[in-house]
Amino acid sequence: MDSAATAAPDRVALRGDLLDFTAEPAWGETASPAVRFRADHWLMIEGGRIAGAQPGSQPPAPGWRCEDHRGRLILPGFIDTHVHSPQIDIIASYGAELLDWLNTYTFPAEMRHADPAVAVRGAEVFLDALIAHGTTSAVVFPTVHKVSADALFAAAAARGMRLATGKVLMDRNAPDGLRDDVDQAERDCVDLIARWHGRGRLAYAVTVRFAPTSTPAQLAMAGSLCAAHPGVYMQTHVAENEAEVRWVRELFPAARSYLDVYARAGLLGPRSVLAHGVWLDDADRALLAESGAQIAHSPSSNLFLGSGLFGWRAAREAGAAVSLASDVGGGTSLSMLRTMADAYKVQAMAGERLTAWTALHAATLGAATALGLEGEIGSLEAGCTADICIWDWAAGPVAEHRMSLARELHERVFAWITLGDERNLVAAFVAGRERYRCGGMTTDGASSRAAAA
């Protein structure tokens, strides 16, 4: 059903199975009161925001454009809390652990983004790819080049996306063409903050590559930026790989741990996003909880680079926030479904069983809450921005057969996560505007709706 001909352009009603969360599910609980599942409901979108929901048996009043997706899932758009925009150039590159990966693949790829044309095109391709995988918000590493951050901000603004990013800081242990200096880096960051932070749905993230590529002076400068601009985020990497941890110990002998390097520089707080955190101890986890910082768990990358198994339950029991991240290109897909499936495998290797609810929460409301954005994204609650994705429960004969035999909701959602990927995505809306439909990007959805009709 499509009533576009008589509808107001900013009023859309989507009919399907609505799934989101009202709280954090308990670890290991497959029947959770935190899960809100509303089978066959209308989701009402008006002026780019969610206006409410009502049973499918109660049709919207005249003036709404109605789309009938009965038998499909409707979820909040996914939130990827750690991903590298230039690294889709090197995704699926062979045979390296973290430090070799950086030198062999990552740094050469990032050098190309000093070229404004490469930076602009790369940002556009990357953000369209995110949306085509069902991800509507992200915390992103561009490159050390100011033009790379500018291009990413501009492309996100054009798409209406919620994005946090910032020029990468690296003033040592990196090749020529990828190093900055403290004073120029500070000027670049201040200019980018003035230009982009708080503009539309954009936020600046003070972006420390990782401790080994920043001098103590640069780390201190980054901490000063966070203090001077309390609304910005901070993103970096921590304790991803054992060789990296040993290197940090050599470079910062006075610090108690890798995480303590950032704490000493004033870089830990409720708006800090630290990728990986594989090799943390109890004191580190307590520090995370005390500071309000989050770990962006990147299971696909940890498996692909052989970095280790993240202790999700230990972090949770310590009170530390955990969100999910693709970490492309160390990760092997932008799909948060594949990321969730890999997270299950990581926890299984660690002797734990990750439920579909904990995984899905960490990619939606949990990530939004950790970012302080729970009133805007990650939920189908009335008033939230309408970042919405529509999914097929199954794609292909194996998944369809498995889904036909699933007995209850958790089993169905777990099968969807395990067997699904971006091919299950039917449509994606960003701030109420259709940006993707059935295999292609759209600008206003008109052409794809006509084709569907």
Q: Is 337 helix (H, G, I), strand (E, B) or coil?
A: helix
Q: What number is the average pLDDT over the span 87-106?
A: 86
Do the beta carbons of residue 54 and residue 44 sit within 8 Å? yes
Q: 9-31: b or e for each residue (b if 16 or more CB lie within 10 Å)?
A: eebbbbbbbbbbbeebbeeeebe
pLDDT at 379 over 90: yes
Q: Give the rounded percent of residues in the chain with a pLDDT score beyond 90.
A: 89
Segment 230-282, tens digit of pLDDT: 999 999 999 999 999 999 999 999 999 999 999 999 999 999 999 999 999 99
Domains of the chain: 4-76+380-452 (2.30.40.10), 78-334 (3.20.20.140)
Residue 357 confidence class, pLDDT cut points 50, 70, 90 = very high
* pLDDT score recorded for residue 95: 80
Contacts of 277 (CB under 8 A, 6+ apart): 238, 239, 240, 259, 284, 288, 295, 297, 310, 315
Q: Is 36 helix (H, G, I), strand (E, B) or coil?
A: strand
* pLDDT score recorded for residue 8: 52
Classify strands 433-437 and 135-141 as parallel, antiparallel or unpaired. unpaired
Segment 157-202, tens digit of pLDDT: 999 999 999 999 999 999 999 999 999 999 999 999 999 999 999 9
Maximum Cα–Cα distance across the chain: 68
CA distances from 385 to 346, 420, 421 (A): 32, 25, 24
Segment 273-328, tens digit of pLDDT: 999 999 999 999 999 999 999 999 999 999 999 999 999 999 999 999 999 999 99
* pLDDT score recorded for residue 246: 97
Do the beta carbons of residue 208 and residue 267 sit within 8 Å? yes
Segment 107-155, tens digit of pLDDT: 988 989 999 999 999 999 999 999 999 999 999 999 999 999 999 999 9
Segment 212-230, tens digit of pLDDT: 999 999 999 999 999 999 9
Q: What burial class does residue 188 get, using C-beta atoms within 10 Å of its C-beta: 0-12 exposed, 13-18 middle, 19+ buried?
A: buried
